[in-house]
């Protein structure tokens, strides 16, 4: 069964510092991968998605993620954190096949940005 693991339920950085949120997947075939962001009491907004066109994916708000098949990882990064980046981030995967259209989500990482 497909699973998605996000290492670290809480990450804290200073404003202007590098943001690194980790995501690993387990799948017999390379999945399609997504990063979503959720602000308090709101729905999820898509940051970026990997669909095999390019291993380095750029998203909104200066975020990017790199797909590494050898490491089964899809970590999310941003060179310089901003206070407005404080939110919860979810990594998700779709492995296709019988799971057509369904996403498996990681447990989420809460990002805190200190001034």
Partner 1 sequence: DGGITQSPKYLFRKEGQNVTLSCEQNLNHDAMYWYRQDPGQGLRLIYYSQIVNDFQKGDIAEGYSVSREKKESFPLTVTSAQKNPTAFYLCASSNSGGINNEQFFGPGTRLTVL
Residue 23's nearest CA partner among 3, 37, 45, 42 is 3
Copy the structure tokens of residue 108. Answer: 């989420």
Among 85, 106, 111, 113, binds partner 1 (CB under 8 A): 106
Return the bridge partners of 4, or none. Answer: 25
Instruction: Select the residue interacting with partner 1 from 44, 62, 66, 72 (CB under 8 A).
Output: 44
Number of residues that bind partner 1 (CB under 8 A): 25
72 neighbors 24 (Cβ within 8 angstroms): yes
Q: Does the footprint of partner 1 cover residue 108 (CB under 8 A)?
A: yes
Q: Note whether 100 binds partner 1 by CB under 8 A.
A: yes
Smallest gap, in angstroms, from Cβ of residue 2 to partner 1? 11
Q: Least distance (Å) from partner 1 to the CB of residue 18?
A: 24
Q: How far apart are CA 82 and CA 86, in angstroms?
A: 8
With CB under 8 A as the contact rule, which of the stretches 16-24, 41-49, 57-65, 71-79 interacts with partner 1?
Answer: 41-49
- Dihedral pair phi/psi, residue 37, rounded to 5°: -120, 145
């Amino acid at each position: 069964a497909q699973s998605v693991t996000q290492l670290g339920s809480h990450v804290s950085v200073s404003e202007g510092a590098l943001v690194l949120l980790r995501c690993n997947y387990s799948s017999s075939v390379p999945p399609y991968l997504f990063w979503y962001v959720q602000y308090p009491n709101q729905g999820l907004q898509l940051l970026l998605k990997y669909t095999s066109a390019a291993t380095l994916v750029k998203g909104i708000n200066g975020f990017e993620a790199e797909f590494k098949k050898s490491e089964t990882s899809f970590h999310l990064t941003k060179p310089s954190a901003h206070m407005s980046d404080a939110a919860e981030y979810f990594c998700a995967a779709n492995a296709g096949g019988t799971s057509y259209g369904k996403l498996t989500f990681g447990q989420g990482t809460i990002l805190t940005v200190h001034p």
